[in-house]
Structure formats: structure tokens, C-alpha cells
Amino acid sequence: MATANGTTSTKSKHGVIVLGKTRFANDEVAAFEKQHAKVAYFGNASRAEVIAKVKELAPEGGWTSVVKFGGPAGTVNEELFGPLKGQLGFVGYIGAGFDSIDVDWLTSIGAWFSNAPTGVADPVATTASMFVLMCTRNAVSADLEIRKGGWRNGFDYALDTRGLVVGIFGMGTIGKLTRDKLQGFGMKILYHNRHHLSPEEEKGAEYVSFEDLLTRSQCIVLHCSLQQDNYHKFSDKEFALMKKGSYIVNVSRGSVIDEEALVRALQSGHVARAGLDCFENEPHPHPYLLTCNRVALYPHQAGATHVGIYGKEKEVLNNLDDWVTKGKPRDAQNSPVGVKV
Ligand SMILES: O=CC(=O)O
């Protein structure tokens, strides 16, 4: 396309819909706006508003991509983007976990999907480690006791971190970072994963069966995704198999734990303490969890550091760029190659 000063514009032929807003990668978004034929910003529009706007834009054609930095709650699915079928080729999402994306539907309409898997890996691992330390030191109870005028009432000596046996469920990028951090405190790391890692990748962690993870760990840390059949993976049976007085930390997805079963295990004392960043019905943790002084709570913000969020935002844009320039996003979680729409 010729511009006013006679040069040739290098704009792509792509139309990009932006859901939500970036917090840090604003210069990058301004630059990307200049690279593409058209950009529509939906900001923090509600689900109903997005559905209406998509219907309105679709007949124009050329809306080939969506980047989701936030925006409407609920699943990214046919209800939201159905009218873009035939033109949509890429959806990039700011989450590492993507249980809120109907990837099968995107594949069926020939669209690539990428998540943002590494930007927040380190901060999530740090938060997981923080919870492990809070559990071993009984930090929530101590804090609340002092605030209400007490001191060491009922306090027993804490478990030492040196030699503490921690079981990591899901040894991907984040699990490995948590392993590294906890090994720094002298903890012994067990892990269960879909694959047994090579000794170089294990770095001293011991691969065990799921049952051994439950029975041998003093603290279990969840780093799995919800996609891989992990719904209610931890319920009454699994809590009963865990050591009496052990701890559980969840920085993955709330529904990996059957929250009612966790409450029963905490009430009986079989699970002594927990650190939770995610819940089955966010933003409403089970009422018992709000009253239990053996549970540390966090509002699904385990990865939310400045560097982490900026990293995620850039990952989304890099994936869009890959798709535009090479036809495949680097963090593709599906492959629509060969799908005829
Ligand atoms: O929970 C946060 C994420 O999946 O990135």
C-alpha cells in the first residue's frame, strides 16, 4: 500500500481484536498497531458486549486474530467468536493455564491457539515456595495470634525445612523452578509427572508414583494443569492417603482440589495446613477456609509481579508476530494444519 510520502507501507493484511488491556507492554502494543491492517480494542467489555461487537464487525471480514489480555469472564468459545469462523486464524491468550479456552472449537475452525507459558513461571514458583514456608512455620496462626494480643499460645516447634519431604505434582517449567527454590532450603523433592524426566532434567528430584507422592510427602505442591483430567484429582481418598499432619499448596487451578473434601481433611486435622492461590468458585473460597487460621490465602495472583505480567504480555504479542510472519505461534497448544473451514 502506498503512503502519503510515497513509501510503501509494510502493514500486514491482518485485523486484530484486542480483549482486555496491557498493563506494561503499551509501547509494544502501539508498535504492533502500526504493523497490522486494522486493530479493534474491546477493552474490558462484558461478555454480552463482546458478543454484540463481534457480530457487528464480522461481516467486514479480515479479522484474522484475537489477543486476550483480559476481558470478559467465561470460556472463549463459539458463543463469543462464532461469527468469525472462516476468517479467524489465531487466538493468543495471556494465561499459562487455558482451561477457559475451547481449544477444540478453535482447532475445528482452523485457528491456532497459544498461551503464555513462561512469563509468570518464576513468580508462581516463588509464591508456591512462600506457601511451603508459611505452612512449615505456621505463619498464618502466628500472625493472627499476635494481632489478637496473644504470643506463643499453643505453639510447638516448627518442622525444619532441612530434609522436609516435598512432593511436586506436575514437573513442568514451574514445577522445576519450585524444585530449585525449595532445594535451596535443603528440602528433599519427590515428583509425579506424566513423564519420568531424565536425570539431567530431574536435578536431584526423585520420580515416584502418584500413590507414593501422597504417602511419602510431608507437603504436596500442585503445579499441574486442569486440562489433563485433573478435575478433583485431590479428594477424600487422596487426602486420606496423605501423611497425618501434612500440608498442601495449590497454585494451579482450584478445581484440581475437591474443596469440600479439603475442608473435611482440614477440619479433622489430617491435613494440618494449606496455602491456596486458587479456588473452585473464584472469587468465593469455601467459607471454612476464610475462618481457618491454618490456611494461607491468596487471590489467584501467584504470578502477578511487574516482570511476570510484562513477560506474559510480550509472550502474547510474540506469538501473534510468529503467526503473522511464520504461520505458527511459538507456544502453539493446538495444530489446525489441514483443517478445511
Ligand atoms: O493462573 C494464571 C495463569 O494461568 O497464567
Q: Is residue 72 scored above 90 in pLDDT? A: no
> Is-catalytic flag, 306?
no
pTM recorded for the entire structure? 0.92
Q: What is the ipTM of this complex?
A: 0.92
Which of 76, 120, 278, 315 for mutating ligand 1's site (highest number of atoms within 8 Å of CB)?
120
The pLDDT value given to residue 9: 54
95 lines ligand 1 (CB under 6 A): yes
Exactly one of 56, 282, 306, 330 is catalytic; name it: 282
CA distances for 298 relative to 177, 190, 198, 277, 304, angstroms: 20, 25, 34, 5, 11
Distance 217 CA to ligand 1 centre (A): 25
> Is-catalytic flag, 145?
no
Task: Please give the Cα distance from 39 to 274 (Å, whole number).
Answer: 44
pLDDT digits (tens, 9 = 90+) for 91-113: 999 999 999 999 999 999 999 99
Task: Please give the Cα distance from 88 to 57 (Å, whole number).
Answer: 12
Once rounded to an integer, what is the mean pLDDT over residues 269-278?
98
pLDDT band at 8 (very low <50, low <70, confident <90, very high): very low
Work out the percent of the chain whose per-residue pLDDT is above 70: 97
Q: Is residue 2 scored above 50 in pLDDT? A: no
Give me the chain's average pLDDT, please. 95
Count CB atoms within 10 A of the CB of residue 49.
14
71 lines ligand 1 (CB under 6 A): no
pLDDT digits (tens, 9 = 90+) for 211-232: 999 999 999 999 999 976 899 9
3-state class (DSSP) for residue 152: coil
> Is-catalytic flag, 286?
no
The pLDDT value given to residue 126: 98
Distance 32 CA to ligand 1 centre (A): 24
Cβ contacts of 52 within 8 Å, gap of 6 or more: none
Task: Please give the Cα distance from 31 to 26 (Å, whole number).
Answer: 9
Once rounded to an integer, what is the mean pLDDT over residues 35-51?
95
Which of 124, 126, 174 for mutating ligand 1's site (highest number of atoms within 8 Å of CB)?
124
Cβ contacts of 334 within 8 Å, gap of 6 or more: 103, 106, 107, 112, 113
Question: Is the peptide bond between 117 and the residue preceding it cis, with omega within 30 degrees of 0?
Answer: no
Distance 95 CA to ligand 1 centre (A): 4
Work out the percent of the chain whose per-residue pLDDT is above 90: 91
3-state class (DSSP) for residue 85: coil
Domains and CATH numbers, the chain: 15-118+306-326 (3.40.50.720), 121-297 (3.40.50.720)
Once rounded to an integer, what is the mean pLDDT over residues 324-336?
97
Task: Please give the Cα distance from 43 to 129 (Å, whole number).
Answer: 34
Alpha-carbon radius of gyration of the chain: 23
